[in-house]
Structure 1
Amino acid sequence: MTGPVRGRPDAGGRPEEGPATPGGSPTGAGGPPEQRRSGLRNPEKAVRGLGAGTLALEALVLLLAIQPIRLVGGHLNGVAIGVIVALAVVCVVLAGQMGRGWAWYAGTVVQGLLMLSGLLHWSLLVLGVVFALVWAYALHVRRVILG
């Protein structure tokens, strides 16, 4: 054999690019060619990263918001601080579980709980609304990319 065979990896570990077979399919089966909607190499991984990044950012913002809320006139008691820390921990745990289908539903529940925590302080409601909008956008992107 003088060169790499189509579909087998070359020296760099990538499949060789070449002309399609007469059937229009790279596999030569005669069916329609595969179409990737997003153009991403691994769309599932990209969507998981978006969800995990969103939840990780939310956890960071929640933890960093405790002190400014206390200093700007918020009277956060121990229960409110505990709720904020618990929500941040749940966000971090869910960020690590984004490969599982139920984690997206749980992330939606977390957004509702954060808005509900607005009963403890109005600024938590504002954070809840902002992150609910960001989460809705992440769900939209997930639906567009994965179909």
Structure 2
Amino acid sequence: MSGPTDGAPGRPDGAGPADATPSGPAGGRPSGLRDPVRAVRGLGAGTLVIETVVLLLAIQPIRVLGGNLSGSAIAVVVGLAVAAVVLAGMMRRPWAWHGGTALQVLLLFAGFLHWSLGVLGLVFGLVWLYVLHVRRTILG
């Protein structure tokens, strides 16, 4: 026999399966994530950390393969990597998302120093656009 607290359809508190929608339970988390804000922050921070590693690892191959990166160009790459780490740590702040977008634009412009930095800017710019799309989809 079904009682008033067994989760059956038609419960007065609205917790029954009859209230479930295709995007999730009424008033619940449509993404299914326990903490969607934290998950999106982690995605943004992880992307920026990976970008940092790639930037730092790209310096030597560019130099060896004839990139002729000057000291100032290497300083720009290291500065972009440091900015990415700082932004990754600041993802709780709303402005950090805009800062991440600005970082991608700056990396794209670093392509004037060496074409491979422009390619990295293009690749990470597209990745960042996808991260922003995921953020918009999950958080609304």
TM bin (shorter chain)? 0.7 to 0.9
- Corresponding residue for residue 128 of structure 1: 121
Q: Equivalents in 1 of 2:123, 2:134: separation in Å? A: 17
2:56 aligned with 1:66: no
2:16 aligned with 1:23: no
The SS at the match of 2:13 is coil
What number of residue pairs does the alignment pair up? 126
Q: Equivalents in 1 of 2:6, 2:94: separation in Å? A: 37
Q: Report the AA paired with residue 142 of structure 1.
A: R
Shift of 1:25: 4.6
Structure 2 residue ranges without an equivalent (≥5): 17-24
Give the conservation status (yes or no) of the 8 Å contact 1:25–1:34: no
Residue identity over aligned pairs, in percent, reads 63
Shift of 1:18: 5.9
Q: Report the AA paired with residue 24 of structure 1.
A: G
Q: Equivalents in 2 of 1:95, 1:73: separation in Å? A: 31
TM-score for the superposition, normalised by structure 1:
0.81
**Pair 1:68–1:33, CA change in 2 (3 A):** same
Q: Equivalents in 1 of 2:119, 2:68: separation in Å? A: 16
Structure 1 residue ranges without an equivalent (≥5): 1-16, 27-31
4+ aligned runs moved over 4 Å, structure 1? none
* Pairwise CA RMSD: 1.8
**Pair 1:76–1:144, CA change in 2 (3 A):** same
Q: Report the AA paired with residue 7 of structure 2.
A: P
2:26 aligned with 1:36: no
Q: Report the AA paired with residue 143 of structure 1.
A: R
- Corresponding residue for residue 45 of structure 2: 52
